[in-house]
Amino acid sequence: MTEAQPVLLERRGHVAALTLNRPESRNALSVAMMRQLREILQELRDDASVWLVTLTGAGGKAFCAGADLKERRTMPEQQVPEVLALIRGLMDDIAALPQPSLAILNGHAFGGGCEMALACDLRVLASEAMMGLTETSLGIIPGAGGCVRLPRLLGLAKAKELILLAKRLSAAEALQVGLVHEVCQGTEIDALGQAYIDALLRNGPLALRAAKRAMEGSWDLPAADALRFETECYMQIIPTQDRLEALAAFAEKRAPVFKGC
């Protein structure tokens, strides 16, 4: 049953909750899992009723152990570039979601699992879990965005330390270097994730999309171009009903009721 459905999708109101569902393999990224994930993400990115996407792992021991090395061992060498393109495309799909994405890391996240977390906008981690881009210890490199996203998140010097030494970070270390936003006991990780979900859903969904686009699209531009791009993103919000609702709610001293339009 698990292998027949390696990814679970549950729609909870405006939240699309994805669960990696191969606990017997520590939710390792098989070809079937990655293909299913990409299909789901393609569906979600075009769904205006989805305001937030979350990712977590089944079983509680691992969020994702990375690539399925057992599967990889039986793979013909000529197929490896195709699988690399698949896993890279998956991480790019996560990063390109117009909605905010939240990784609820309820267990270890190594290799491709860590790269998946890096592709998300927000990350919370169970205190018993560890993280790391450990590929160099296996004779390869982080090839699904890790060598790009980790330096941009933590800085080049720290990223070199972590990748070249194949370091495994404890939850406390991951929090200290800024790899995750918050840490809690594993028994409380779902509650912490829900707190983030509730906080995000209190904000305007179109504003969240626009703010994400403004930050992602401008951060490596020259300042003047970045400011122009930010203005373009802001202009998309002006004609929305949600903006007018927020103004009315402020005047009436109540919480706004956003509709995503």
Task: Indicate which residue of 16, 28, 59, 115 is catalytic.
Answer: 115
Based on DSSP, count helices (H) and strands (E) in the chain, helices before strands: 11, 10
Burial bucket for residue 55 (CB in 10 Å: 0-12, 13-18, 19+)? buried
Task: Indicate which residue of 135, 146, 204, 246 is catalytic.
Answer: 135
Give catalytic status of residue 260 as yes or no: no
Give catalytic status of residue 195 as yes or no: no
Task: Indicate which residue of 66, 107, 111, 112 is catalytic.
Answer: 112
Cβ neighbours around 219 below 10 Å, total: 10
Task: Indicate which residue of 62, 67, 207, 214 is catalytic.
Answer: 67
Give catalytic status of residue 230 as yes or no: no
Cβ neighbours around 113 below 10 Å, total: 28
Cβ neighbours around 239 below 10 Å, total: 8
Length of the chain equals 261
Rounded Cα gap, residues 11 and 81, in angstroms: 34
The torsion region of residue 145 among left (phi > 0), alpha (psi -120 to 50) and beta comes to: left
Rounded Cα gap, residues 14 and 36, in angstroms: 21
Rounded Cα gap, residues 198 and 51, in angstroms: 12
Handedness of CA 92, 93, 94, 100 (dihedral sign): positive
Give catalytic status of residue 211 as yes or no: no
| Interacting residues of 187 by C-beta distance below 8 A, sequence separation 6+ | none
Residues that are catalytic: 67, 112, 115, 135
